[in-house]
Amino acid sequence: MGDEYSSYRVLVADDQRMVAETLAEVIRCRLGCDTMSCGDGDAALEILESRPVDAFVTDMLMPGCHGIELIQQAKAIRPHCDIIVMTAYPAEFPYIAVVEAGASDFIIKPYPMEEICARLLSRFREQGRREKETIHEVESTQSDSGNGQSDRYVLLFENNMNGMVVVRNSDRKIEDVNQAFCEWYGGDRTMLLGHPIMGLVSENHSERLEVGLDVIATTGRGALAGLALQRSDATVGQVDISISFVEHNNEGLFLLACRDVTEQHHVQDRLIELANMDDLTGLLNRRVFNGRLASAMEWADQGSGPLSIALIDLDEFKHCNDTYGHQVGDTVLRQAGESIRKHIRNSDEGFRYGGDEFALVLRGADATVAARAAERIQNAFKEHPCYGVTMSIGIAQYRSGCSLTGLLREADAAMYAAKSSGRNAIHIVSDPL
């Protein structure tokens, strides 16, 4: 990201300090902005009072001030600060209530930490835009009268390079669109006029737009970043939308200025993917391991299911490198990565943890299930030319209250126990440290 977002300041609040600190560090590394973290709502409000903050990422259930009250107080202190809410209890904190309290976005736990970064990136970009100037001009034009009003409306609306859509508040149907939006959509104006705007929105984004329009009908203006809209050919594009609510001829109208950011989202997703991947093995890299493990531990603490981790060490790998050369060593590492990728479940994640060490995070797996996965990986690896290299695997099952470092220490001890037993073995930790 370079220095593009180095001037932005982000505050992360979560009662699990490890989660808050890890997320703050991920945001700092990904976006380059200044980050802070704290473990309760009162501390968050003190920070907001004492220094400017551009974005506030917060859990909803914490010691001190929390929930809707925290959002309202934070917004009162920093009206221009974007607030992104994280919660594992969406039923207790409905989306509409959170947005009405002042939040800009809403994420349900557990979540990939990269999703937070993507949401922040969209908010930062929105803060820097000047599309509202165009909206103000159109509003001004709509308040004029006579032929001058009509001429200026055509000039600003029809010829705008951004897609412009007018939606009636009464039935949320499209009243008018400009040529730019028709071209983006892939159809003519007659296909869109009278069409419900919600019919263009991807199902998983429809609530965001519905709630956003409800709020903007009261506040007058707002914005939604990264909204997924369907084109006429059923493909999905990402748009950032600036929205204004106006009264015209005793009818409430929404004016939507749509900017296509599909390609930017693809590029951003690809950059995040590349930054997280190990080129040689195709597995996730160590850079994201702690964050993914912390997220999985939080998932397990919520009662979602058991969690186990496994650490894998390649026995005699140094001897293989020294004897056959580094090209053969790289081949062995690729074979290990392939064996892991093809023999873990969709809910599991595999990482290249170090030079010849690998790690697994296995959600919904107790130690016994994890051992079966380890055995599948071992057997698959043996089918390749291994040049004398085998796998020693240590497994530890997460227990509530165990720290991330403690869990890793247990798995590491189990892995060394497997090596000590003669290598090419699987060992489950029996006496937690």
Indicate which CATH number applies to the domain containing 81. 3.40.50.2300
169 and 120 inside one domain: no
292 and 424 inside one domain: yes
In a domain? residue 298: yes
Q: Does 82 participate in catalysis according to the annotation? A: no
Q: Is 420 exposed, middle or buried (0-12, 13-18, 19+ CB in 10 A)?
A: exposed
The catalytic position among 54, 356, 366, 412 is: 356
- Domain of residue 190 covers 131-265
**Cβ atoms within 10 Å, residue 110:** 19
Q: How many domains does the chain have?
A: 3
In a domain? residue 314: yes
pTM score above 0.75: no
193 and 301 inside one domain: no
Among residues 128, 154, 189, which one ends one of the domains?
128
Residue 182 has a pLDDT of 92
CB contact at 8 A, 141 and 248: no
In a domain? residue 4: no
Among residues 105, 128, 151, which one ends one of the domains?
128
86 and 65 inside one domain: yes
339 and 214 inside one domain: no
198 and 325 inside one domain: no
CB contact at 8 A, 156 and 137: yes
391 and 319 inside one domain: yes
382 and 318 inside one domain: yes
Sheet containing strand 9-13, strands side by side: 34-38, 9-13, 55-59, 82-87, 105-108
- Look up the CATH number of the domain holding residue 236: 3.30.450.20
Beta bridge partners of 259: 240
341 and 384 inside one domain: yes
Q: What is the mean pLDDT of each run of 10 residues along the chain (433 residues)?
A: 72 88 87 91 92 90 89 88 83 75 81 78 67 48 50 66 90 92 90 93 87 88 85 89 85 90 72 76 88 90 93 94 92 94 92 93 95 95 92 94 92 94 88 50
The DSSP line for 277-342 is B-TTTSSEEGGGHHHHHHHHHHHHHTTS--EEEEEEEEETHHHHHHHH-HHHHHHHHHHHHHHHHH
First-to-last alpha carbon distance for the chain, in angstroms, is 40
Which residues neighbour 390 within 8 Å (Cβ) at sequence distance 6 or greater?
A: 314, 315, 316, 378, 381, 382, 423, 424
Tell me the CA distances in angstroms from 340 to 73, 104, 128, 284, 301, one per residue in order: 48, 39, 43, 11, 26
Among residues 265, 294, 328, which one ends one of the domains?
265
CB contact at 8 A, 226 and 261: yes
In a domain? residue 235: yes
In a domain? residue 271: no
**Cβ atoms within 10 Å, residue 105:** 23
